[in-house]
Chains A and B, each alone.
Chain A
Amino acid sequence: GAVVSQHPSRVICKSGTSVKIECRSLDFQATTMFWYRQFPKQSLMLMATSNEGSKATYEQGVEKDKFLINHASLTLSTLTVTSAHPEDSSFYICSALNVENTEAFFGQGTRLTVV
């Protein structure tokens, strides 16, 4: 199956710094990518939908200026957590929709810890 690579898998950063997470579709073009956040023992919460070449669509309650999303090419979307705080600590996972819209391929996820 298709592969989505997410990097880094784990990151620890200090409060106030920014962290960039990359999501790459390795063998297919993804016009649409999604960013999710998952708290321990909870479901995936959709944060935003990332469309290549246009602004991301954020879900209600997600701060646009806090979570910057850039989908610069058909194979790369990035999520930048700006001025991170301990409450931003979470598991972030991206997915890319295939052209047929029949499968969403997920990255490996990024565990962010803000200290």
Chain B
Amino acid sequence: AQKITQTQPGMFVQEKEAVTLDCTYDTSDPSYGLFWYKQPSSGEMIFLIYQGSYDQQNATEGRYSLNFQKARKSANLVISASQLGDSAMYFCAMREEDDKIIFGKGTRLHILP
């Protein structure tokens, strides 16, 4: 069974609009962490945001925010005021108690001018 599910293989969004990238996860560990990474065509992995399972508030980093709904086991990434440079692959990932970090299949985001 997949531990990280990203149901949107591709998304097209108009520039300046907000976009939500979906991520659901599956774990029985009480302590875990959730990450979002951006991977442009160059291949590098760019860390965007982190949410710990015990964090009371949703994480925010600039234009990125994580909509953490623990009961639903979802950790959606919200990008506000999208820019052309946001076009990339986005990966949701989870770290469980064994410290392994497992990735979802990713969502390719296209920002349209």
Contacts and interface: CB of A to CB of B under 8 A. Distances in A.
Interface of A: 1, 32, 34, 36, 38, 42-46, 49, 91, 93, 95, 97, 101-106, 108-109, 111
Contacts, number: 56
A38 B102 CA distance: 13
Given A32-B99, A46-B100, A104-B95, A93 B45 contact: yes
Nearest to B101: A104
B105 A43 contact: yes
Contacts of B91: 43-44
Contacts of B43: 38, 91, 93, 108-109, 111
Interface in B3-43: 33, 35, 37, 43
Interface of B: 33, 35, 37, 43-45, 47, 50, 52, 91, 93, 95, 99-106
Residue from A91, A95, A105, A111 whose CB has the most chain B CB atoms within 10 Å: A95
A104 B47 contact: yes
Given A43-B91, A44-B91, A97-B99, A106 B105 contact: no
Contacts of B101: 34, 46, 95, 97, 104
Given A49-B100, A102-B50, A102-B52, 4 more contacts: A46-B103, A101-B33, A101-B95, A104-B93
Contacts of B47: 1, 103-106
B100 A42 contact: no
Given A101-B33, A101-B95, A106 B45 contact: yes
20 contacts: A32-B99, A34-B100, A36-B103, A38-B43, A43-B91, A43-B103, A43-B104, A44-B91, A44-B103, A46-B102, A49-B99, A91-B43, A93-B43, A97-B99, A101-B95, A101-B99, A102-B33, A108-B43, A108-B44, A109-B44
